[in-house]
């Protein structure tokens, strides 16, 4: 279902203050959300043609993509998360670059081969049955398409968990590893480049061209 947020100027300003506060909290611990997205987009290179982001969350990657003037679709099953992401985009006047959908990544409502690029950042550690999302990524990605797959490494997870503990919350961690993701897509015949930064691993997985 298409998500079209109703946004006020007051909401946008209030949300931005909170958003910047969260960025600052993590940066002081050594986790730079802005820097990590810059790293991911630099390694993935220019994204040509259609783009799908799976797992909008509160919009760190969404904002980074929109700042680079990409026009794309972003999905999340959490409507409140989509609203926050939309507010973050609205603050920078780049909301028009993104079409949001309330959708589960395990059941994408898109035709086979619909996208040239699919991006999923900091999503897999939230998912218990991650193979279903892998299957949907492979199905929705066109021949020769690129999957940009990234998540926290051990250091990143430790920082995230420490902040959540101090706030009296428990952070989800399904235990999905980089090696598990790599093995799955390698088994499907993808060509994969692997990268690392301080708090993330990154796989750039290219689907085989089908004649």
Q: Maximum distance among all alpha carbons in the chain?
A: 54
**Rg value, the chain, Cα:** 17
Q: Is residue 65 part of a domain?
A: yes
For the cut 80, the answer to whether the pLDDT of residue 210 exceeds it is no
The average confidence (pLDDT) of the chain is: 95
d(CA 36, CA 43): 11
pLDDT score recorded for residue 209: 83
CA distance 70 to 120: 16
Give the pLDDT of residue 174: 86
pLDDT tens across 135-180, in order? 999 999 999 999 999 999 999 999 999 999 988 888 888 889 999 9
**What is the per-residue pLDDT for 170?**
83
Query: E strands of 7-166, at which residues?
Result: 51-54, 72-76, 98-102, 115-121, 141-152
Q: Do the beta carbons of residue 44 and residue 197 sit within 8 Å?
A: no
Q: Is 54 part of a structural domain of the chain?
A: yes
Tally of structural domains, the chain: 1
The pLDDT value given to residue 119: 98
Q: Is residue 191 part of a domain?
A: yes
Structural domain boundaries, residue 134: 2-206
- Under the banding of pLDDT at 50, 70 and 90, the label for residue 211 is low
**Residue 144, C-beta contacts closer than 8 angstroms, at least 6 positions apart:** 116, 206, 207, 208, 209, 210
Structure confidence by residue, pLDDT tens digits, 55-84: 999 999 999 999 999 999 999 999 999 999
pLDDT at 54: 98
Q: Could you count the other beta carbons within 10 Å of the beta carbon of residue 87?
A: 23
* Between residues 52 and 168, the one the model is more confident about: 52
- CATH code, 114: 3.40.50.150
| Within-domain flag for 163 | yes
Residue 128 lies in a domain: yes
* Domain contains 97: yes
Residue 136 domain-assigned? yes
In a domain, 211, yes or no: no
> What's the whole-number mean pLDDT along residues 24-31?
96
pLDDT class of 132 with cuts at 50, 70, 90 = very high
Residue 88 C-beta-side C-alpha neighbours within 13 Å: 25
Q: Is the pLDDT of residue 104 over 90?
A: yes
pLDDT at 133: 97
Are 54 and 137 in contact by the 8 Å Cβ rule? The answer is yes
Quick one: what percent of the chain has pLDDT higher than 90?
Answer: 91
């Amino acid at each position: 279902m298409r998500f079209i947020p109703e946004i006020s100027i007051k909401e946008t300003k209030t949300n931005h203050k909170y958003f910047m506060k969260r960025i600052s909290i993590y940066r002081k611990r050594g986790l730079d959300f802005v820097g990590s997205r810059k790293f991911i987009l630099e390694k993935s290179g220019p994204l040509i043609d259609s783009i799908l982001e799976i797992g909008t969350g509160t919009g760190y990657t969404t904002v980074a993509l929109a700042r680079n003037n990409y026009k794309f679709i972003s999905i999340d099953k959490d409507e409140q998360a989509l609203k926050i992401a939309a507010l973050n985009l609205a603050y920078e006047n780049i909301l028009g670059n993104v079409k949001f959908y309330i959708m589960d990544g395990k059941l994408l409502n898109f035709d086979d081969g619909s996208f040239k690029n699919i991006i999923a950042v900091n999503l897999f550690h939230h998912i218990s049955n991650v193979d279903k999302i892998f299957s949907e990524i492979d199905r929705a990605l066109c021949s020769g398409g690129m999957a940009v797959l990234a998540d926290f490494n051990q250091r990143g997870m430790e920082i995230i968990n420490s902040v959540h503990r101090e706030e009296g919350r428990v952070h989800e961690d399904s235990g999905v590893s980089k090696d598990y993701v790599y093995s799955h897509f390698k088994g499907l015949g993808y060509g994969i480049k692997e990268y690392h930064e301080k708090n993330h691993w990154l796989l750039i997985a290219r689907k085989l061209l089908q004649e």
